[in-house]
Amino acid sequence: MLNAKVPEGKIEEKWRNYQAQSRLVNPANKKKLKVIVVGSGLAGAGAAATLAELGYDISCFCYQDSARRAHSVAAQGGVNAAKNYQHDGDSVWRMFYDTLKGGDFRSREANVYRLAELSAPLIDHFTQQGVPFAREYGGVLVNRSFGGVQVERTFYARGQTGQQLLLAAYSQLNKMIRARKVEMFTRHEMLDLVVIDGKAKGIIARDLQSGKIRRFAADAVVLATGGYSRVFRLSTLAIGCNGSALWKAHKRGAFFASPSFTQIHPTALPQSSEAQSKLTLMSESLRNDGRIWVPKTKGDTRKANDIPEEERDYYLERRYPSFGNLAPRDIASRAAKERIDAGYGIGRLKNAVYLDFKHAIERFGMETVNDRYGNLFTMYKKITGIDAYTEPMQISPAAHFSMGGLWVDYELMTTIPGLYAVGECNFSDHGANRLGANSLLQASVDGYFILPNTINNYLAQALKEEHETTEHPEFSKVEQEVKEHIDHILAVNGCKTVDHFHRELGKVMWQECAMSRNKSGLQKAIGQIKKIREDFWTEVNVTGHSNELNTELEKALRLADFIELGILMCTDALDREESCGAHFREEYQTEDGEAVRVDDKYAFVSAWEYSNGDFKLHKEPLDFEFIQPSVRSYK
């Protein structure tokens, strides 16, 4: 039975109660304790910097050439906080409710409440760190609204909020690097976790520049490795984003929760060719003022501007009158897919819908629209060559955020003692669907505020134990396994490229395990992915050596893990016979195509245990003490 270790008390008091009871480590002892942080995004850099400020000895790893590249950088729209600056009825409670409802009641109440509770101090924190949030002329902070809510609680820095928050975290990390409290390992990729006597005690990493395999020991390991939606190949994620650290931890005993809960973002740029490597996201904030539509006639070949108003179908406004274009992401994506599948899609490959700013420009004027979205319009023009001020944008759904991730308890600790997961790589707060502008929030709150308060509870114990060194036989054993794995891939010497297999995997995953899923499709997909795995291990060709900078080898290692992860995702989607949030099972829908949740059978978190190539399901029941799950309606 999974114990989430949720503290006693009323929901408003849980976090305070926890902090009051948690064990602490004496400042003089903290420097004797070593913590490894894998990942340097908002969660990783925030955790590394804050833990270092507390006095712990930190090693931080990232695969990029600098900590500033982590993909938190790409979040555009903003970060939510229950400040109620707009005096529009917002509160911690409302934010808690919105987030829980947005996640379709598949997340843990206590965690979600804590997320909302810590959101306000986070804005204070980032303002203090020099984030240039948007301001009114009078000097106070501005807010905008985001999908799935009816208040304005999103703080932003133009369309580059993620970048600004990440750079603040990166700055703070650098401050601690200079203070010699953090040692930064750039161009290092974690390839395995070392578990000694059931506890996480270190990692094996590959120096991507020299190809050298290196051992790192610590008293605790924090994974902050982000999402794994690159399993679909085409996604809004950075090309290097991967699920390998999670997967290796999973194989070493960490449970993987809700792996199939993947958010498909409604406003990405459509795929235009087979060679495409990435789907660029256009911020959801565009839906504040942009209107989404398709032509009312199937296969309409006219140019967008030639289609008169009465022949346009504003399908979101039609289906969801009260939220309209601001319907949550899962709903907006599915509605787009429904129109595209029905033959109303636009663009060269008929795989897109229009996002139109004509009315916004008429209403607010060019200048205001430019002030709000100028950089997004510029970006759109750079990529597509089209001016969105004069003709509507073409957008399309794309794989985006992983709500699933390693199962963690209230302390953000996985099922392996001493192994923590923070930010997108854990499952905790978003349930089956994440609300816009909640991901920067969760990553930051996890890294800055929660982990530094919970890790002491474990490390206070670790202090009394022996510190393992890299000389421990377990390190050499795991290192050997890693080396063999690499040699194995290099030895296949087949006739197909890594990208070929990634495209194959992506097609299966997108077809069967994305916006809508069904039993036979998922069963078929599992078979197909197993076949891809077999082919990969007999036909892939990775040129070059292991002891040099070898980008092809890096890709192959990541893909090998993605393939296995894909099987787990399909297994999870197959097991969950209900529709909730982003997980839409075609068998469970109303007549007008809305999701049907099955609370009496599936009000639990699926946590999967790896056992010899197979997966064993554990359930963490979701007891809603404070909120009654309702049918999630945005009509």
Closer residue to other proteins in complex, CB, 143/415: 143
Closer residue to other proteins in complex, CB, 457/550: 550
Site for other proteins in 456-515 (CB under 8 A): 495, 497-500
Nearest distance from residue 483's CB to other proteins, in Å?
Answer: 21
Nearest distance from residue 296's CB to other proteins, in Å?
Answer: 28
Site for other proteins in 318-377 (CB under 8 A): none
And the tokens for 418? 């001493």
DSSP state of 230: G
Residues catalogued as catalytic: 329
Nearest distance from residue 262's CB to other proteins, in Å?
Answer: 19
And the tokens for 45? 């850099």
Nearest distance from residue 177's CB to other proteins, in Å?
Answer: 6
Number of residues that bind other proteins (CB under 8 A): 84
Closer residue to other proteins in complex, CB, 101/555: 555
Judged by CB under 8 A, the residue of 278, 358, 530, 533 near other proteins is: 278
Cα–Cα separations (whole angstroms), residue 380 to 239, 270, 428: 19, 12, 33
Closer residue to other proteins in complex, CB, 201/555: 555
Closer residue to other proteins in complex, CB, 200/459: 459
Site for other proteins in 223-242 (CB under 8 A): 236, 238-240
- Per-residue contact string for residues 412-451; x = within reach of other proteins by CB under 8 A: ------------------------------------xx--
Nearest distance from residue 416's CB to other proteins, in Å?
Answer: 26
CA distance 257 to 569: 10
Query: Sign of the CA dihedral 41, 44, 47, 50?
Result: negative
Coil vs helix vs strand at 267: strand
CB atoms within 10 A of CB 170: 24
Q: Does 127 bind other proteins (CB under 8 A)?
A: yes
Judged by CB under 8 A, the residue of 20, 89, 128, 309 near other proteins is: 128
DSSP state of 68: G
Alpha helices in 147-269 (DSSP H): 161-178, 244-251
Q: Does 379 bind other proteins (CB under 8 A)?
A: yes
Task: Select from 124-132, 468-476, 564-572, 576-584 the region that touches other proteins (CB under 8 A).
Answer: 124-132
The DSSP string of 290-332 is -EEEEESSTT--S-GGGS-GGGEE-HHHHH-TTTGGG--HHHH
Site for other proteins in 547-576 (CB under 8 A): 548-552
CA distance 540 to 492: 6
Site for other proteins in 49-108 (CB under 8 A): 49-50, 53, 64-71, 73-74, 83, 85
Judged by CB under 8 A, the residue of 1, 8, 20, 277 near other proteins is: 277
Task: Select from 10-18, 170-178, 218-226, 565-573 the region that touches other proteins (CB under 8 A).
Answer: 170-178
Judged by CB under 8 A, the residue of 61, 133, 407, 610 near other proteins is: 133
CB atoms within 10 A of CB 66: 12
Alpha helices in 12-154 (DSSP H): 14-21, 27-30, 42-54, 92-102, 109-117, 119-128
Residue keyed to tokens 């931080």: 60
Residue keyed to tokens 């804050």: 50
Site for other proteins in 575-614 (CB under 8 A): none
Task: Select from 11-19, 198-206, 334-342, 535-543 the region that touches other proteins (CB under 8 A).
Answer: 535-543
CA distance 355 to 392: 6
Closer residue to other proteins in complex, CB, 74/460: 74
And the tokens for 93? 């409670």
And the tokens for 214? 């290196």
Element (H, E) at 604: strand 604-611
